[in-house]
Amino acid sequence: MQHNVSDHQIFCASLCPHVLLSVACFLPRTGNTFSTLRGHRFDWLLLRDEEATHQTSEPEAILHFVRFDDSSYETDPIIGALEARGYYGDTVLVEGVSTGTAKVSVRFVDRVWKDSVAPATVKLLVIENIMLQPAMDVYILPYCIVHYTVERKKQGKTEVVVMPSDQYSLELTNTTVASLDTPSSNVTGLVVGDTEVVLQDKNMLHTPSATKPSAGVHVVPPHHLGYTISPDNIWVLEVGRQYQITVHVFDKFNHPILVTQNVVMKTVLPTSHLDPLSSSQNGSYHFVTAENVGKATIHATLNAVK
């Protein structure tokens, strides 16, 4: 007979409920599986992942077992009775504590089975629900600066991870196209081309199966400008009503370019019909009040990148 368990990927304990692991036994020649293992005692152990040579954390710092009575799961009476006596049954709850990889081993306690059935192990990958902001690809002009933040989903809430971090770091896949200032988490476009911002977890550096949050950065030349007005984006304005006029920059494929704070734009508003209330520092959007009836024209130019 052999044990059989499947690989799992789980989140840290504060982010997601416990993970249920069960053991099954089957005959290797026929493939027939035992219908139940309820009532049997098992040893469940946490082991190092020998392939994670970079990892310094002990497996107990990555995972721990949780008693059913200490969880929101309904306790099987037989499992509960075993746990009350200090044993584990054929099913256990595992909780992620910190990111990393560890193995869970299981074997029979009863000597009649312990000596004839080899232990089985499963590797568990513990990850965090973490993301980059901006999360989508951005298009920027050369010498424009994009600020990146790292956010963590925790118990249904979002918290910002202070960067630089002891655990996380940002990297660029192409440092010819853009540069990264690590203390500020700012990425500056250098030349036209493509690169990617990747969030590295030092606990997962050599774990190929670990998903790394990333976002594309495309450095492009400007091609044309466009306008939107809110609310409604209708260019028939009502006298006395306030509006926001936004000037957009596009590349030749009509991708919207992120107008960063170091972009310099100049917009000439027809003050005969619009009363300017306030404008952004880079000149990309303007709050106005429609004053007089008539037709007017707005002129905008992209002047420079500071």
Calculate ∠ Cα 297-302-306, nearest 5°: 145
Tell me whether strands 138-140 and 214-219 are parallel, antiparallel or unpaired: parallel
Residue 264 to residue 282: CA distance in whole angstroms: 5
pLDDT at 8: 55
The two tokens of residue 239 are 């006298």
| C-alpha span between 14 and 128 (Å, rounded) | 9
Predicted local confidence at residue 260, as pLDDT: 94
Helix (H) or strand (E) holding 80: helix 77-84
Per-residue pLDDT, 78: 87
Q: Which of 253, 255, 233, 257 is nearest to 244 (CA)?
A: 233
**Residues with pLDDT less than 50, the chain:** 1-7, 13-15
Condensed to tens digits (0 to 9), the pLDDT of residues 18-63 reads 788 888 777 666 666 766 777 888 999 998 887 776 777 788 888 8
What pLDDT is stored for residue 5 in this prediction? 46
pLDDT, residue 191, reads 97
pTM of the predicted model over 0.85:
no
Residue 1 confidence (pLDDT): 41
